């Protein structure tokens, strides 16, 4: 739930910043065009806005993909972390589990026959 709020908040903030930057560029460009000092033409302003849109869309897509990739990495890490703990808590980790499994099969911790049983396994 917190992830959804954070993602929504950061997306909204990014959109508002993009809108504010576009308004600033249009205001500055419009004033430069109205002054008539040939610093900026209408065509150059429109071209700049188009290039800026393509550049910002590319970065937005890149950062979205990086965000998704990081979610996958964290998810895989958490999955392996919790499955390893569950496996260990169930007696499936290390030498202790090998000894327990061997004892259940009638073998000692080192794989040999447990004391008190014959070599053939028959009574």
DSSP letters spanning 66-95: HHHHHHHHHHHHHHHHHHHHHHHHTT-SHH
d(CA 47, CA 53): 10
Q: What's the average model confidence in pLDDT over 73-87?
A: 78
d(CA 57, CA 52): 8
d(CA 36, CA 46): 16
pTM score above 0.75? no
Lookup: tokens for 104: 């259940």
Reported as a single tens digit per residue, the pLDDT across 4-35 is: 777 777 778 888 888 898 899 999 998 988 98
Confidence (pLDDT) at 51: 92
Higher pLDDT, 1 or 92: 1
Cα-Cα-Cα-Cα torsion 50, 56, 61, 62, nearest 10 degrees, comes to 130
Domains of the chain, by residue range, sit at 2-89
Confidence (pLDDT) at 18: 85
Reported as a single tens digit per residue, the pLDDT across 83-118 is: 876 655 555 555 444 444 444 455 545 555 545 455
d(CA 116, CA 109): 15
Residue 115 DSSP label: T
Confidence (pLDDT) at 81: 81
d(CA 42, CA 32): 10
Confidence (pLDDT) at 14: 81
Reported as a single tens digit per residue, the pLDDT across 39-68 is: 888 999 999 999 988 998 898 889 889 888
For the beta carbon of residue 31, count every other beta carbon within 10 angstroms: 10
Higher pLDDT, 85 or 36: 36
């Amino acid at each position: 739930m917190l992830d959804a709020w954070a993602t929504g908040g950061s997306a909204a903030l990014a959109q508002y910043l993009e809108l504010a930057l576009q308004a600033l560029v249009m205001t500055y460009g419009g004033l430069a065009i109205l002054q008539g000092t040939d610093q900026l033409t209408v065509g150059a302003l429109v071209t700049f806005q188009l290039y800026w849109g393509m550049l910002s869309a590319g970065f937005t897509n890149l950062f979205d993909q990086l965000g998704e990739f990081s979610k996958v990495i964290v998810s895989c890490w958490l999955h392996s972390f919790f499955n390893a703990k569950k496996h260990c808590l169930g007696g499936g980790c290390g030498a202790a589990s090998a000894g327990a499994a061997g004892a259940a099969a009638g073998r000692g911790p080192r794989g040999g026959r447990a004391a008190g049983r014959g070599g053939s396994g028959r009574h």
